[in-house]
Amino acid sequence: MVSRTVAAPLDRLKIYMQAMGKKKLLTTASTLYGEGGGGVKGIRSFWRGNGIAVFKMTPEMALRQGIFETFRELRSDYDEIIVSPVTNKELFGLGCLSGFIAQTCIYPLEVLKTQAAMRTTRQYSSIMDLIRKLYRSEGWKVFYRGYFANSLGVFPAAGIDFALYEYLRRVYREKVTSLEEPSILTLTMISNVSALAAMYASYPLYLIRTRQQYQIVPENMFEMMGRIWRIDGWRGFYFGSLPNLVKVLPASTVAYLKFDYFSSLFDIDE
């Protein structure tokens, strides 16, 4: 929660650059600061949407990690190193499944987060006002804008993230530490590598998702992809990736280290 709040300005910059097709980070930051009213108000505007983001973070992470660990332990004859290691394909599949289920459960909050981050000054009086106005525009379907693109993106993102993290940790234990757990520094590096690979694999689909969530006139996903390619080429699919990169690495590190800490504390893997 703390790391998410600290990184909130970077998240809003990412969302705005994705939705509006902005290329330059400093220009985008200046635009948001000015729209927010300048001064203290302008600085505070960088935290728009953070409340919803923090609210959705706990159930999303709990579902992802919980589903992943539950399915992994249900696998017959499971033992990570000694008896019957989970294969890389199984790790990838479990990661995809857990990410898909978690995102499906909390997806309306994703739409609300994007809309809240993109709102202008005094556009909505409260979260309930935002929900009412969105519902009046398209009904319940508005809360699932971009769901298809998001689902396609979740599979490689969650699969690569979990599978690569578990694979690298396992290899390190087998080859370096003789089955002892890696150090905090090593776990940090492993989590960063897995998060970085997952982010770049799925980023174009998440950019499409964000644009569909925010757009006023609904547009087909494939039509949108074609328009981005014609106007900006492949770089257009990575607008906002720089602030997202700065945000993802520390956030993923904190998330994985917390999970590993509490797993060992409560003997979850035993």
Whole-prediction pTM: 0.79
Lowest mean pLDDT among 12-26, 98-112, 241-255: 241-255
62 neighbors 101 (Cβ within 8 angstroms): no
Q: pLDDT digit string (tens) for 132-180?
A: 999 998 889 899 999 999 989 887 887 788 788 888 888 888 887 776 7
Domains of the chain with CATH codes: 2-265 (1.50.40.10)
Lowest mean pLDDT among 18-27, 29-38, 213-222, 242-251: 242-251
214 neighbors 19 (Cβ within 8 angstroms): yes
Per-residue pLDDT band for 83 (boundaries 50, 70, 90) equals: very low
